[in-house]
Amino acid sequence: ERDMVWKGTKTLLEVPVTFEAWVQFPQDTDGRGGVILSTYGDGANEAISFEVFSGGAPRLYWVEKDGTKYDWVFKDVNVYTGNWEHVAIVRDGQAGTVGCYLNGQLMETQSTAGSVGDLPLLAYCLGGDHRVPNEQYCKGRIRSAAIYGDVRTQEEILADMTEPAADDLLLHFAPQGNETETIPDLTGN
């Protein structure tokens, strides 16, 4: 709900595949909801941004090392409900699909359209990205955000809604609702 961003200190060592978060946005949210987790900005060629786009649509924006951009916006999904919603985006390179789940239910699937899935060189930011000023900070609330190195199944996503699984968990932040300088990565990485 505030223009607040936490910047990670280390980059991931594996390519992220599944992005999950518990988010809450007011029903009357106008325009883009903002970033949940992102490496975008700071002059790096490659980037990944897990965010909420206009109309409450979850989005995965992916820029490959060669500059090719992929923009998966799931317009059939709306997280602007006023309720806590669990959103998951799964990029399955082998199947050639990117799927969006809402509260454990697959809502929409799109093609990866040839994306190779490069590993970004920057650390992830929670609630915004590396740009200054940060125009895409999260305009809702984030209770938990996690990234996995595997293609999570529907059953795994449903289980993750209760407690993120330790297997293949690359990153996990769970802000406690108070302002603090540091939020630990609960994976211990």
pLDDT of residue 148: 95
Query: What does the pLDDT read at residue 179?
Result: 58
Q: What is the dihedral of CA 89, 96, 72, 141, to 10 degrees?
A: 10
Confidence of residue 182 (pLDDT cuts 50, 70, 90): low
pLDDT for position 183:
65
Q: Determine phi and psi for 159, rounding to 5 degrees.
A: -70, -40
3-class SS of residue 147: strand
pLDDT score of 188: 62
In this structure, what is the dihedral angle of CA atoms 178, 182, 185, 188, given to the nearest 10 degrees? Answer: -120
pTM comes to 0.91
**Residues 6+ positions from 100 with CB-CB distance below 8 Å:** 58, 72, 74, 76, 77, 87, 88, 89, 106, 107, 108, 109
Q: When comparing pLDDT for 69 and 164, which is higher? A: 69
Look at the chain and count its residues.
Answer: 189
Average pLDDT of span 140-169: 92
Mean pLDDT of the chain: 89
Task: Name which residue leads in pLDDT, 98 or 5.
Answer: 98
- Determine contact, residues 137/128, Cβ cutoff 8 Å: yes
Nearest Cα to Cα of residue 32 among 51, 49, 48: 51
**Mean pLDDT of the 184-188 span:** 64
Work out the burial of residue 41: count CB atoms within 10 Å of its CB; fewer than 13 is exposed, 13-18 middle, 19 or more buried. middle
Tokens coding 12: 């991931």
Task: Give, rounded to a whole angstrom, the gap between the first and last alpha carbons of the chain.
Answer: 27
Q: Residue 158 — φ and ψ, nearest 5°?
A: -60, -40
16-30, 89-103, 159-173: which range is least confident on average? Answer: 159-173
Say what the pLDDT of residue 165 is.
81
Residue 185 has pLDDT above 90, yes or no: no
- pLDDT band (50, 70, 90) for residue 4: low
Q: What is the pLDDT of residues 32-61, one digit of tens each?
A: 999 999 999 876 778 999 999 999 999 999
User: Which residues are within 8 A (CB) of 1 and not within 5 positions of it... i.e. 6 or more apart?
Assistant: 139, 140, 141
